[in-house]
Amino acid sequence: MKTLTDLLQNLSYEKKQGSLEKEITRLIYDSRKAVPGCLFVALKGAETDGHQYLYDVIKKGAAAVIVEDLPSNLLQSDVTVIRVENSRYALACLSAAWFSHPAKELTVIGVTGTKGKTTTTYMVQNILELAGHRTGLIGTIETIIGEERIPSANTTPESYVIQESFRKMVEAGCDSVVMEVSSQGLMLHRTAGFLFDYGIFTNLEPDHIGPNEHKDFADYLHCKSLLFRQCKVGIFNCDDEHFKEILEGHTCEVETFGFSQEADLRAEQMELVKENGYLGVSYHLTGKMDMDVTIDIPGRFSVYNSLTAIAICRHFDVPKERMKEALLKVRVKGRIEMVKVSDDFTLMIDYAHNAMSLKSLLMTLKEYHPKRLVCLFGCGGKRAKSRRYEMGEVSGNLADLTIITSDNPRTEEPQAIIDDIKKGIQKTSGKYIEICDRKEAIAYAISHGEPGDVIVLAGKGHEDYQEINGVKYPMDERVIIQEILEEQRSQN
């Protein structure tokens, strides 16, 4: 148990009333979890404001509260009241202290950028684990602590959850952790309260701009750049057009990677690899390291992801052979995840669920000159209709055949979503069919696969459910594929 004084050591604050020597039983930011002796941090959210629940937590016996705004009649209580400029930043610092600063016992790696974060973190974890480092992971798909895997709600969790995970990692014997750092996570101070050993910039494209995210691209870029004022060593993709802007205000050492001759680690002689039911890429690495690299994931962006992982892991003195072995084996659920169903054609699952990511994926796959590029996708309900039109147009322009199906319809009618997608695809000359039931659509794609085809199941990725009218029904495309193959075998 810690005193309030212990928890406030690294925080600027103003004491409005009460004692700082109180022992704190629990640190909370959800008023429903209030218990006697707790410290409650009132957060301002997009939909709710924790300040509205101050009296509730005081009635439940809270020892102290952290606030930004101070209601005058709160001072009638004997609760300790601490006022701060930003309660989210305060929560991050308090959480680090509550869990006894676990980041100091780990080598902490943070990866930010528009694309590539998820794949890169898994590459890093695979390489470090193979080299004998027990490595935790926090990201879009899951948090990995030893043998425990916890599904994620956010790419970058709330600061309390991050610090709690760090502490669990230390207790599980981890010596390092690699995590995805989103622009939202940086903007909302979820990663405050500790110093990253390594911060990584992958790339930047317009994304996450809207009423509940970033007001414009400049704000999005600025939030990404904050990581490099909070790390010891920054590792950057110097090929990205926003590289110099991301560097502005940095306080870290700078290292670079890319295809550029100026890069500290650079890729040369890239070749696309195409075999039976399999796509990949190979290249020669030069600069601060020299070796040949082959990856079982297709595309130029896979080169960038692997360069990022190598640039990080060389600081851990991982032998070249271990790096090459790990990169050849790494698989990321729902990120160009190839599922072997035939030697004649290639089938893959990918999370591409907006026009930008779908366009990038399909353009990458067209470089392999498939006989046909087949794209199966749907769109989520209760999301911007523009996404449906845009994805339909992208697939119509780039795929030889589009199979329009259902995704997560939520509370909308699946057919209505399909009809919106058709409006986009009908702007093109692309061929398409519609099969509302996703399993039936996947079965059609597999049974009509032709030699040399590349078939993409887009949109669901790592998700293992389908949300219909507020209920999440089990639906894992990997399981569906195996069911379809078994059904086909039993019919033959």
| Residues sharing a CB contact under 8 Å with residue 61, sequence separation 6 or more, in sequence order | 34, 35, 36, 37, 38
Supply 104's token pair: 């100091």
Q: Are residues 383 and 324 in the same domain?
A: no
Supply 428's token pair: 């093109």
Q: Are residues 9 and 155 in the same domain?
A: no
Element (H, E) at 366: helix 355-366
Q: Are residues 89 and 168 in the same domain?
A: no
Q: Are residues 290 and 370 in the same domain?
A: no
Q: What is the mean pLDDT of residues 286-291?
A: 97
Structure confidence by residue, pLDDT tens digits, 423-461: 999 999 999 999 999 999 999 999 999 999 999 999 999
Q: Are residues 119 and 83 in the same domain?
A: no
Q: What is the mean pLDDT of residues 133-141?
A: 96
Residue 75 has pLDDT above 70, yes or no: no
Of 480, 268, 287, give the one whose Cα is nearest residue 376: 480
The predicted pLDDT at position 331 comes to: 87
Q: Are residues 128 and 227 in the same domain?
A: yes
> Which residue range(s) make up the domain with 193?
102-329
The predicted pLDDT at position 213 comes to: 62
Neighbours of 184 (CB within 10 A): 17
Q: How would residue 70 be classed by pLDDT, with cut points 50, 70 and 90?
A: confident
Among 41, 73, 98, residue at a domain's last position: 98
Report the phi/psi class of residue 369: left, alpha or beta, with left for phi > 0 and alpha for psi in -120 to 50: left
d(CA 114, CA 241): 13
DSSP per residue, 73-128? GGGGS-SEEEE-S-HHHHHHHHHHHHTT-GGGGSEEEEEESSSSHHHHHHHHHHHH
Structure confidence by residue, pLDDT tens digits, 170-227: 999 999 999 999 998 999 999 999 999 999 999 998 655 555 565 678 888 898 999 9
User: Residue 351 is which amino acid?
Assistant: Y
Among 54, 73, 98, residue at a domain's last position: 98
**For position 79, which CATH number holds?**
3.40.1390.10
pTM across the whole model: 0.91
CA 126 to each of CA 119, 138, 338, 362, 482: distance values in angstroms, whole numbers, following the listed order: 11, 14, 18, 27, 26
Q: Are residues 276 and 406 in the same domain?
A: no
Give the angle subtended at the CA of 400 by the CAs of 363 and 298, to the nearest 5°.
35
Q: Are residues 136 and 69 in the same domain?
A: no
Q: Which residues pair with 64 in a beta bridge?
A: 39, 80
**For position 136, which CATH number holds?**
3.40.1190.10
Q: What is the mean pLDDT of residues 332-358?
A: 93
d(CA 357, CA 284): 27
Q: Are residues 118 and 45 in the same domain?
A: no
| Residues sharing a CB contact under 8 Å with residue 448, sequence separation 6 or more, in sequence order | none
Per DSSP bridges, beta strands 107-112 and 176-180 are parallel
Q: Are residues 66 and 147 in the same domain?
A: no
d(CA 399, CA 312): 36
| Rg of the chain, C-alpha, whole Å | 25
The predicted pLDDT at position 207 comes to: 55
Q: Are residues 289 and 347 in the same domain?
A: no
Mean pLDDT of all residues in the chain?
94
d(CA 234, CA 227): 9
Tally of domains in the chain: 3
The predicted pLDDT at position 244 comes to: 94
Among 67, 98, 129, residue at a domain's last position: 98
The predicted pLDDT at position 212 comes to: 59
The predicted pLDDT at position 291 comes to: 97
Of 391, 370, 357, give the one whose Cα is nearest residue 453: 370
**For position 400, which CATH number holds?**
3.90.190.20
Q: Are residues 124 and 248 in the same domain?
A: yes
